[in-house]
Amino acid sequence: MDYVELLKRARDQLPESVFEKERFEIPKVRGHIEGNKTVIVNFQQIAGVLRRPVDHLLKYVLKELATPGDIKKSGLLVLGSKIPASRINEKIRRYAHDFVLCPDCGKPDTEISKETGGLSYLKCSACGAKHPVKSKI
Ligand SMILES: [Zn+2]
């Protein structure tokens, strides 16, 4: 039996609930359309769950959605056009994939560190993996 097969066999013996618990849930946006704008009420909380600066997440999402937008004093994110929540969720998922989740173990226990030469790395505290990450959005 080779290694891959061993892994497969070990995995088959684990109850499904183990995987359920391990999977990191990326929060979904909550909000509504207001005239020609989209208001998101929990954007800061999402950045908090992802443990990334809200400005970093915002910059990415605005660029990907090609829309202007900013965070008001009240904490609401107001986007300058009508955008369905599903599209915003998709961008946040992609952000998490690129900047939060460890490519090796899939856990969100990571941080971005800047090192000499302007390179940034995604470092995982769960498995110790270190991967280069885009430093500019
Ligand atoms: Zn990892």
At residue 103, φ and ψ (nearest 5 deg) are -65, -20
Residue 133 CA to ligand 1 centre (angstroms): 14
Predicted TM-score (pTM) of this structure: 0.80
Whether residue 31 contacts residue 44, with contact meaning beta carbons closer than 8 Å, is answered with no
| Per-residue model confidence as pLDDT tens digits over 91-105 | 999 999 999 999 999
Buried b (16+ CB within 10 A) or exposed e, 120-131: bbbbbeeeebee
pLDDT at 15: 56
Distance 121 CA to ligand 1 centre (A): 13
pLDDT of 32 over the 50 cut: yes
DSSP state of 52: S
- Helix, strand or coil for residue 109? coil
Positive or negative, the Cα torsion across 87, 88, 93, 96? positive
The pLDDT, as a whole number, for residue 22 is 56
Give distance in angstroms: CA of 123 to centre of ligand 1: 8
The Å distance, Cα 44 to ligand 1 centre, comes to: 25
The domain segmentation of the chain, as residue ranges, is 24-100, 105-137
114 pLDDT above the threshold of 50: yes
The alpha carbon of 116 and the centre of ligand 1 are apart by a number of angstroms equal to: 22
Residue 5 C-beta-side C-alpha neighbours within 13 Å: 2
Distance 102 CA to ligand 1 centre (A): 5
Residue 21 Cα, ligand 1 centroid: separation in angstroms? 16
Q: How many whole angstroms from 24 Cα to the centroid of ligand 1?
A: 13
**Domain 24-100 indexed as CATH 3.30.200.20:** no
